[in-house]
Amino acid sequence: MRFVVTAGPTREAIDPVRFISNRSSGKMGYAIAEAAVAAGHEVKLISGPASVAPPAGTKIISITTSDELHDEVHRTVRNCDVLVMCAAVSDYKPAKFQAQKMKKRKAPFALQLIPTRDILASLSRENRAYLVVGFAAETHDLESNARKKLLAKNCDMIVANDISRNDSGMESDDNAVTIFFRSGESKRISRAPKKIIARELVKIISKMLQKSLTKKSR
């Protein structure tokens, strides 16, 4: 099977030395890519600036901004069986890039932000030949928010995790996730190293894809 996995943060430049980003380390996405390779799948890994070494056996496509990620996703999904959108995409970017470094001011400073493009929402919803796995990093109302995203973004499944915890999630080697399916079912994977969770996710995704292919062949 052909996997496209996105991982890591995006960076939205303010000026030549400053940018807006987030705490994503890329560890979860990289672990999923590694697990997919180990299971015998072909993997393209679209990665923002991550803090971990790329897994062997993957084709790495490096990006920095949300616009670059948007374009690479649309390019690679043309020839894939599953898209795993694990990257932590910036929701906003500066309205204007300052070509020169801005000097510090004593007066208060306001930065105008505009929304970035919604990559999941931009994907075609008709006659889609690949599965879409979304991720939801939540600090509250995890199930409600994840289920809303599952439907609003037309994903086949959503992997949600509570990033308010101190022992797992962003920057940590561990994670704890709940998977929500369009059928209304859910599956919880208790706190464990991200590499173990990644192996479970790849198994679940592979089974879902096999069922999908079986239905189409009938």
CA distance 11 to 49: 8
User: Which domains, and CATH codes, for the chain?
Assistant: 2-217 (3.40.50.10300)
Q: Which of 80, 42, 85, 32 has its CA nearest to residue 200?
A: 32
CA distance 73 to 83: 8
Check residue 9 and report its DSSP letter. Answer: B
CB-based contacts of 155, cutoff 8 Å, min separation 6: 120, 132, 133, 134, 149, 182
pLDDT band at 218 (very low <50, low <70, confident <90, very high): low
Does residue 168 contact residue 191 with C-beta atoms inside 8 Å? yes
User: Angle 19-22-26 (CA atoms, 0-180°, nearest 5)?
Assistant: 115
CA distance 88 to 83: 15
Q: Which of 75, 41, 7 has its CA nearest to residue 210?
A: 41
Counting Cα atoms < 13 Å in the Cβ hemisphere of 58 gives 28
SS3 94: strand
CB-based contacts of 24, cutoff 8 Å, min separation 6: 8, 9, 48, 50, 87, 88, 170, 171
Q: Which of 118, 164, 112 has its CA nearest to residue 142?
A: 164
User: Each residue of 182-213: pLDDT tens digit?
Assistant: 999 999 999 999 999 999 999 999 999 888 76
Q: What is residue 42's predicted lDDT score, i.e. its pLDDT?
A: 97
Q: Which of 140, 20, 16 has its CA nearest to residue 88?
A: 20
Q: What is residue 96's predicted lDDT score, i.e. its pLDDT?
A: 97
User: Each residue of 73-116: pLDDT tens digit?
Assistant: 999 999 999 999 999 999 999 999 999 999 998 999 999 999 99
Residue type, 72: E
Q: Which of 22, 79, 145, 166 is catalytic?
A: 22
User: Each residue of 28-42: pLDDT tens digit?
Assistant: 999 999 999 999 999
Residue 36's alpha-carbon distances to 14, 90, 129, 201, 215, in angstroms, are: 36, 26, 19, 9, 23
pLDDT at 172 over 60: yes
Is-catalytic flag, 79?
Answer: no
pLDDT at 140 over 80: yes
Check residue 197 and report its DSSP letter. Answer: H
Instruction: Kindly state the percentage of the chain with pLDDT values over 90.
Output: 85
